Chain A
Amino acid sequence: MKIQWLYLLVVLLLTSPIVAADSSPSPYLQADVSYRIYGGGLGDPTAPTPSDRKVAFSIEGKAAKQIFDAIGPDKPDRCTQGSGMRVRHKDRERLTCTLSKENEYVCSFGFDLVTGKSVGGSIC
């Protein structure tokens, strides 16, 4: 009998609106995004060509904060050491997020538009 009550309780919890809301993905939201299409290297860009075309994205604001929070913890960064900036990254810095000492969040990533591969969007 106790097991039946426990089963009923679990079923009620799983089907309650509160639990259901928590397990649902958020809707698509607007984000503050800028981007550049370029050729060559990220730090020395050239005009894109049909055989060399990449895109770099930079996301700021609330979306960047959510990504920053999701990819912790902070990583040491030779580039920004001593500046007060916090840095987090994944996939060999191809996804990088920063939090400045002015409390501004920025996330960067990018793709090679010829191959589709991730190439990163931030550099020292």
Chain B
Amino acid sequence: MTETQVQDKRGFFVLPQRYEGGGYYTYGTPGNGQGQYAHPNMITLLLLIGYQWCQRDKRKFGVGNISLADGAEFKPHRSHRNGLQADVRAIRKDGCQKSCGISDAQYDRAATAELIGLFQRHPYVRSVLFNDASIPGVQRTAGHNDHFHIDLR
């Protein structure tokens, strides 16, 4: 297991992992937060939305890839270089901490729409990419059936 450095050359910290009482859990490749170096605005937003979400729902939402240390190229992503993009898993009905596509029986459309709404209402958020066109304001793009991609200003 590779040790994750606390802070990279940009001064970005890793998103807090598994903190007590948080509304989100972390996942991603590489693991252990190595793909979760985040711009300060992203950390602020995810902690805020995590707090808001845990007031509404017992299930945690999954936060995945953000950026690698020092903004290195993050294959297979075309973005995720500046700490201002994050992937978030769709909410599952059973609350399991694993992937769920929009055509899966476990996909909880209402909860996912509610979570996306929390993000969309925040002024930091520029766009949300997700392929469930029934959710207002999302933009469809290839590869986003099982998670949505948030992009901050």
Question: B9: CB under 8 A from chain A?
Answer: no
Q: Which residue among B75, B129, B144 has the maximum number of chain A CB atoms within 10 Å of its CB?
A: B75
0 or 1 for each of A95-108: is its CB under 8 Å from B? (1 = yes): 01010000000101
Contact (Cβ within 8 A) B147 A41? yes
Please report the total number of A residues contacting B with Cβ < 8 Å.
30
Give chain A residues whose Cβ lies under 8 Å from the Cβ of B78: 77, 79-80, 85, 87, 96, 98, 122-124
Give chain B residues whose Cβ lies under 8 Å from the Cβ of A58: 75-76
- In the assembled complex, the Cα of A42 lies from the Cα of B73 at a distance in Å of 16
0 or 1 for each of B85-118: is its CB under 8 Å from A? (1 = yes): 1010100000000010100000000000000000
- In the assembled complex, the Cα of A52 lies from the Cα of B126 at a distance in Å of 34
Residue of B nearest to A60 (CB): B73
For chain B, the bracket of interface size reads 20 to 34
Give chain B residues whose Cβ lies under 8 Å from the Cβ of A46: 99
What is the minimal beta-carbon distance from B75 to any residue of chain A, in angstroms?
6
- Interface residues in A68-112 by Cβ distance below 8 A to B read 77-80, 83, 85, 87, 92-94, 96, 98, 106, 108
Give chain B residues whose Cβ lies under 8 Å from the Cβ of A98: 78
Contact (Cβ within 8 A) A43 B129? no
Contact (Cβ within 8 A) B79 A124? yes
Give chain A residues whose Cβ lies under 8 Å from the Cβ of B149: 43, 79, 124
Contact (Cβ within 8 A) B145 A41? yes
- In the assembled complex, the Cα of A93 lies from the Cα of B142 at a distance in Å of 7
Residues of A at the B interface (CB closer than 8 Å) are: 34, 36, 40-46, 56, 58, 77-80, 83, 85, 87, 92-94, 96, 98, 106, 108, 120-124
Residues of B at the A interface (CB closer than 8 Å) are: 27, 29, 64-65, 73, 75-79, 81, 85, 87, 89, 99, 101, 127, 129, 139, 141-147, 149
List of 9 A-B pairs having minimum Cβ-Cβ separation, nearest first: A123-B143, A93-B142, A44-B99, A41-B146, A79-B78, A79-B79, A124-B149, A122-B76, A80-B78
> What would be 23 A-B contacts, judged by CB atoms less than 8 Å apart?
A41-B143, A41-B145, A41-B146, A43-B64, A43-B87, A43-B143, A43-B144, A43-B146, A44-B146, A44-B147, A46-B99, A78-B139, A79-B78, A79-B129, A79-B149, A80-B79, A123-B76, A123-B77, A124-B77, A124-B78, A124-B79, A124-B129, A124-B141
